[in-house]
Amino acid sequence: MDHRAAQGHAFGAKLGRRDFLEALGIAGAAALFNGCQTAPDGNAGVRRGKPNIILIVADDLGYGELGVQGSKDIPTPNIDAIARNGVRFTNGYASCPVCSPTRAGLMTGRYQQRFGHELNPGPGESADPSFGLALSEATIAERLKPLGYATGMFGKWHLGYSPEFQPVKRGFDEFYGFLAGAHTYLRVEGGAKNAIMRGTEPVADMDYTTDAFTREAVSFIERHKSEPFFVYLPYNAVHGPLEALPKYLARFGGITDKKRRTFAAMLSALDDGVGQVLGKVRELGLEQDTLVLFISDNGGPTAQTTSGNAPLRGFKGQVLEGGIRVPYMMQWKGTLPEGKVSDTPVISLDIHPTILAAAGGVLPEDKKLDGVNLIPHLAGKKGEAPHDRLFWRFGEQCAVRMGDWKMLKLADGKVELYNLADDIGEKNNLAAGNPEKLKELQVAYDQWNAQLVPPRWKRGNQRLQKQGAGAKARPRRKAAKGK
């Protein structure tokens, strides 16, 4: 028996074939069990009844920066192909406007505020010692391993520094990447607690993080092509610092602004990486046997990197649309419709249960997931929207979306109300003229908020300042040292 299957079903159980077919929809089920396909180079891709899973996460990629999202100056044909071959969500959201909390929700399928993972920890040197994805929560990798999946993670973790929080202890057979919130692209060293690591050991050499993470993911796919695999590929691109190789910069000689040109080169490298991963899947004849998901962890910090969120208002770190509405797409050839554009609101929390259902697992009984399996909705098996309301809480900021209506409060405490169907840019605050609608959304938010726990930590520098660590809190480090 495969060593992963032998671990039992502590975090997931198998669906019966009949239940699995119904969950996916008849067309998708037929595609799963129709034998073999032939790769373009003649290699046979044999179906196993369980799809491979590839989850690609971009870092700080703004809503408007992909060709398929309307960008004109930076070609992204490989990422765009995921939308062309599958489904693109125009109302796709991250569960937080910053990195680590979104990743906690992504890995667990639960609002991260339920277990106190509400804020970024700050740089590794000053992060709270308790920082890490709560051990009471199961990651999607931990749920897939009992189902027989090989699991590999390549890129940015940002879910804990201590050994018990690291990827190899949270369900991943292989890990190549770094633990903090950011890393230089060009040097292997990254400051305290932030080396480029293989497993639990620092590596000695590395050329360019985007290229390195891609190579590791492609190698993993090649080595595990005969068994179901889960690849989690959270690039640090296009997060700062702005660094690119000459070969990528050379593609954008027409962009005169240095910052924008470097960003363009970084995004182009990311797109190349996605293309290499998809190309390997195609080469092995596994396209119809592989579910590919792509999302950004939050909106773009435009002032810092030029990562743009047009036509949305706001930026990374804000619960305005520009901070939380992100590029979000998936493909599964032969199972999901191709070229579909969905305006239905979905959230990053949906990725966990969608992957689990595709893999033949069942939802946990001990912990209610907030995300939902999107496959029946996309396959036409369920007519209702996946969610009738979505929520955000990020320190002093909060928001709720119900249908087309969204209520939010930024750090200044001012209440704002928008109808996103008419005002995607959140320009016309309707709060004063719609007291009943405002009350309805506030009541919904209060009911949800009452279920949450306080944040388990503050950003590192804020914590040190409160404690009066020494005479002074440490100064904020540069992005390359983590965040």
Query: Residue 398 catalytic?
Result: no
Identify the CA nearest to 260 among candidates 63, 73, 70.
73
Query: Residue 183 catalytic?
Result: no
Catalytic residue among 9, 36, 117, 158: 158
Known catalytic residues? Answer: 99, 158
